Structure 1
Amino acid sequence: MLAGLGMLASVSVAQPPGGVPPGGPMAKANTASIQRKWLDVAYADKSTAQKLDIYLPDTGKGPFPVIVPIHGGAFKMGDKADGQLTPMLAGLKRGYAVVSVNYRLSGEAVFPAQIQDVKAAIRFIRAHASTYQLNPNRIAAWGGSAGGHLAAMAGTTSDITDFDDASLGNAGQSSRVQAVVDWFGPIRFDQMDAQFKASGKGTADHDAANSPESQLLGKPVQQAPDLVKRASPATYISQSDPPMFIEHGTDDRLVPTQQSVDFAAALEKILGHQNVTITLLEGANHGGPQFNTPENLATVFSFLDACLK
C-alpha cells in the first residue's frame, strides 16, 4: 500500500524541467542552500566522468534511503548537476539522500560503458554507505530520457554480471536497486522509427547512422540487432526485478510513448500489475512542466516511500 502524501513544494529550473533540451545542456540545479553535500566524488578511476555528487537532508542522522538520479541527454550530453536534478532534490525534504551520477557519454565510450558506470556508482554507494549516512538496502534509480533507459537497465540487470565491470571497483558489492522511476526512457531502439510513423508524431530518424542510439551502440541501429537486444531493458525482465514507476507524455516527439507502454506491459507479465505503475501524461512532450507539478511529484514520491520506507 502506498504511503500517505505530504505537502510538497513546487520546483523550478531555468530550462524546461524534467526533459532534455535538444540544443545543449541545461542550466545547473540550485543546490547552494543544501548544507550537507560532497561534490565530484570519484566512484571509479577509468574516466574523469566517473564522479557523483552526494546530498543529504539538512537534519537527521540517517541512514537515509537513497535516490540515484541519472541524467538524460541523448547519451551524449547532460550532467549530474544540471536542471534535470531538480525534481529529485525534492526528496531531501522527505528524508531521502540524493546521489547524482555522471557516466561516460557516447562520445567517449560506446555501450555498455554507460550502464557499467551506473552499476559501479551503485556499488560505490553500498561500499561507502556508512561514511555518508546512506542506507545500502534502500536505493532507487530515477532518470529521464537516456537516464530513464539507464534506470530501467539498472532495474532489470541486477542479476546480469556481464554489466558489472569489476575493474571499476567494489566488485564485492551488489548493484541491485530496490525501485526504478523511468521517465520517458527509450527501451527498444530498433522499434522507435516504426512507432513514430505509426503514431504520426515525432521524427523518425533513430535508425540513422548519426542518431543518438546509433552513436551509443557504435553502429547504425538496424545493422546491429544483437546490440539492440543487449541494450534493451526489456531483454532482462525477471521475477527478481524491483517495482517500477513509468511516466511518459502522450505528445513526446523524441521518444515514442509506445516504448513505455510496451515496456510496462512486458514488466506486468512477469512482475504482476501491483509492481508496475505506468502513467501517460496527456499532452506532455519529452519532459516539461507536467512532470514537475507538485501533484505529479507527490505521486512519484509516494511510490518511492512505499518501496524504500
Structure 2
Amino acid sequence: MKVVDGYSGTRRPSTTARYATPPPLRRGPVLVTAAFAALGGALIPAASLAALWRVWQFYAMLFGLFAAVEFVAFVAVLGWPTRKTARAGALVAAAGLALWVASRPLGLLTRFDPWQPADTVVGFTDYAAAALQVVAVFGFLVVARRRAHPRPSAPRRVSAWIVLFPVLLLVLATGTAGTVAAGDNITGSTATALLDGSTVEYCRPDGIPLVMDLARPRPDARAAPVALFLHGGGLVVGNRKPAGPGALLAGSRLVPLRDALTARGFAVAAIDYRLAPAARWPAPLTDARCAVRFLEANAAALNLDPARITAVGTGTGGTLASLLGVAREPESPVRAVAALDAPADFDFAGQDPLTRAAILLALGRSPATLREASPLTYPAAGAPPFLIEGGRKSAEFAVHLREAGVPVTTGAGDPAAVAGFLAAATGAPG
C-alpha cells in the first residue's frame, strides 16, 4: 500500500463529497411550529370522526385516512428532520387543505358538508383547521428551501425562538381548542332522578342530523306543555348541553330554567342548531322552526300537548325565540315566548367594533339579511304573549308589541319568573 504524506492510498472524502447529502435540519422554531400546526390540522377533523361515522362512513374513513397520514408526517418530520421529510410534511398538509377547499368553499362533496359535525360548538372550527394547514404548508416549505445551518450561533437560535414563540403558542392554543370543540365529548346531558330524559333527532337539513335533549317530568297521565330552549352564543358558538365547552361559550342558563320549568310540569326540549359561518342565515331559524314542527308532529309519542308549545331563549337564542313568535309560519303552535337578554335588532349603528365583527361573522353585511334576522322589523299583530328581559333595543321591541295589542311582561328574567309566565300563558297548573 502506497503511503503519501503519512496517509494510506485510501483517499479521504473531500469536503464536497462529505456534504453531497445535506446535513439533517435542526429542530428550530419554524420546523416545530409547522409540525404542531400540521398536528392540530389533523386532530380537529379526527376529533369529529365518531359523529361523522354515524352520518356517512365513507367521509369518516376519508377524513380518518388524512388524519392518520398527517400524524405519521408529524412524527417523521420531528424524528428525522430533513429537507425530504419537510417536503413530505408540506405535501400532506397541502392535501388536507385541498380536502377542506373541495368540501367547504367549492362544495364538491355534494352529499352533505362533512365538516358540519366539527362545527357543532364553534361554527368556524373547520376554518381554524384550514388555517393551521396553511401555517404548516408555509412553514415546511420555508424549512425545506432555506440553506441548512448545522451549527447556528446561540444568539441566532435564541432570537429565532423569541420571535416565533408567540406564533407557536397561538398554534398550540388553536389546535387544542379546535380539537376540544370538534370532539365535544367531555360532558353529556346532566342526569337527574327528577327528570325523564332522552335525546332524539328532530331534523336532518342537508343530511346533517340535529338532536334535541328532551327533559320531561316523571310520567303523568296528562300531556305536558313543552318549552323549546334555544341557546345563545351569537349564532356562532354554543350548543344544547347544560355543561361543557358549548355551555361555557353560550353562557348557558339551561339548568336553572329547566329545573324551574319541570317543577311547573313542563317538558323542556333543548336543541342544537347549525352555527355560522359554517351555516349561513337563515339556517338557525329554519332549524328552530323544524324543532317546533317535530314537537307538534310527535306530541302523542312524547306525551306532550301540541297546543301548549312555547319558546324560551337566551342571547341570540332569545332572538330566535322572538322570531318564532313574530315571523310566524302559518298555523304556528307557539303559545308564548320568553326572550332573555336577546337582541331585537342587528343594525350596525352605535355598535362597538367587537360586536360589529360578531354580527358580520354571523349574518354578513347584507341589509336584507340583517332586517330578516331582527324581530323588531316584523309586524307584531297576532303574536303570542312575550316575556322580554334585556337585550339591544328590547325596550323598543316591547313597545312595538304592545302597540299591536300583544301582552308583554318585562324585566322578570329569573327562572321562577320565566316558569310562572309560561305557565300562566299556557294555562299550566301553578
Structure 1 and Structure 2 fold alike (TM over 0.5): yes
- Give 1:89's aligned residue: 258
SS of alignment partner, residue 178 of structure 1: strand
Distance (Å, rounded) in 1 between the aligned partners of 2:236 and 2:278: 9
* 2:419 pairs with 1:301: yes
In structure 2, relative to structure 1, the CA distance for the partners of 1:271 and 1:50 (3 Å cut) is farther
The answer to which structure, 1 or 2, has the higher relative contact order (CA under 8 A, 6+ apart) is: 1
Cα offset, 1:205, TM superposition: 3.2
Q: Any conservation in 1 of the 2:200–2:213 contact (CA below 8 Å)?
A: yes
Cα offset, 1:47, TM superposition: 4.8
Which of the numbers 341, 364, 372 marks the counterpart of 1:184? 341
Work out which of the two has the higher radius of gyration on C-alpha atoms and give 1 or 2: 2
- Give 1:4's aligned residue: none
* 2:314 pairs with 1:137: no
- Give 1:69's aligned residue: 229
Q: Any conservation in 2 of the 1:49–1:104 contact (CA below 8 Å)?
A: no
* 2:411 pairs with 1:279: yes
Which of the numbers 325, 328, 339 marks the counterpart of 1:158? 328
SS of alignment partner, residue 33 of structure 1: coil
SS of alignment partner, residue 238 of structure 1: coil
- Give 2:287's aligned residue: 117
- Give 2:400's aligned residue: 266
SS of alignment partner, residue 301 of structure 2: coil
In structure 2, relative to structure 1, the CA distance for the partners of 1:204 and 1:107 (3 Å cut) is closer
Query: Deviation string for 1:103-126 (max 9, x for gaps)?
Result: 111132111111011001100100
Which AA in structure 1 matches 2:422? Answer: L
Query: Deviation string for 1:194-230 (max 9, x for gaps)?
Result: 1x5xxxxxx44333xxx2221222x23xxx2221111
Q: Any conservation in 2 of the 1:65–1:97 contact (CA below 8 Å)?
A: yes
Cα offset, 1:190, TM superposition: 0.9
Quote the RMSD (CA, aligned, Å).
2.4
Cα offset, 1:258, TM superposition: 4.6
Distance (Å, rounded) in 2 between the aligned partners of 1:94 and 1:53: 18
- Give 2:197's aligned residue: 37
Q: Any conservation in 1 of the 2:325–2:383 contact (CA below 8 Å)?
A: yes
Question: What does residue range 22-33 of structure 1 map to in structure 2 within 5 Å?
Answer: 30-33=190-193
Question: What does residue range 191-206 of structure 1 map to in structure 2 within 5 Å?
Answer: 191=348, 193-194=349-350, 203-206=352-355
Cα offset, 1:175, TM superposition: 3.9
Cα offset, 1:89, TM superposition: 1.2
- Give 1:237's aligned residue: 379
* 2:217 pairs with 1:57: yes
Q: Which has the higher helix share?
A: 2
Distance (Å, rounded) in 1 between the aligned partners of 2:369 and 2:325: 19
SS of alignment partner, residue 107 of structure 1: coil
In structure 2, relative to structure 1, the CA distance for the partners of 1:212 and 1:31 (3 Å cut) is farther
Which of the numbers 101, 105, 108 marks the counterpart of 2:271? 101
SS of alignment partner, residue 302 of structure 1: helix
Cα offset, 1:55, TM superposition: 1.4
Between the aligned residues of both structures, percent identity stands at 28
Question: What does residue range 241-260 of structure 1 map to in structure 2 within 5 Å?
Answer: 241-248=383-390, 257-260=391-394
Distance (Å, rounded) in 2 between the aligned partners of 1:92 and 1:190: 36
Which AA in structure 2 matches 1:297? Answer: P
Q: Which segment is superposed worse, 38-47 or 181-190?
A: 38-47
Distance (Å, rounded) in 2 between the aligned partners of 1:46 and 1:31: 31
Cα offset, 1:278, TM superposition: 1.4
Which AA in structure 2 matches 1:278? Answer: T
Distance (Å, rounded) in 1 between the aligned partners of 2:219 and 2:398: 37
Which of the numbers 43, 46, 49 marks the counterpart of 2:206? 46
Cα offset, 1:29, TM superposition: 6.0
Distance (Å, rounded) in 2 between the aligned partners of 1:137 and 1:279: 27
Gaps of 5+ in 1: 1-22, 162-173, 197-202, 249-256, 281-290
Q: Any conservation in 1 of the 2:318–2:339 contact (CA below 8 Å)?
A: yes
In structure 2, relative to structure 1, the CA distance for the partners of 1:58 and 1:47 (3 Å cut) is same
- Give 1:212's aligned residue: 358
Which AA in structure 1 matches 2:303? Answer: Q
Q: Which has the higher strand share?
A: 1
Q: Any conservation in 2 of the 1:153–1:233 contact (CA below 8 Å)?
A: yes
- Give 2:99's aligned residue: none
State the TM-score, normalizing by the size of structure 2: 0.51
Distance (Å, rounded) in 2 between the aligned partners of 1:175 and 1:96: 19
Distance (Å, rounded) in 1 between the aligned partners of 2:355 and 2:205: 32
Count residues with an aligned counterpart. Answer: 235
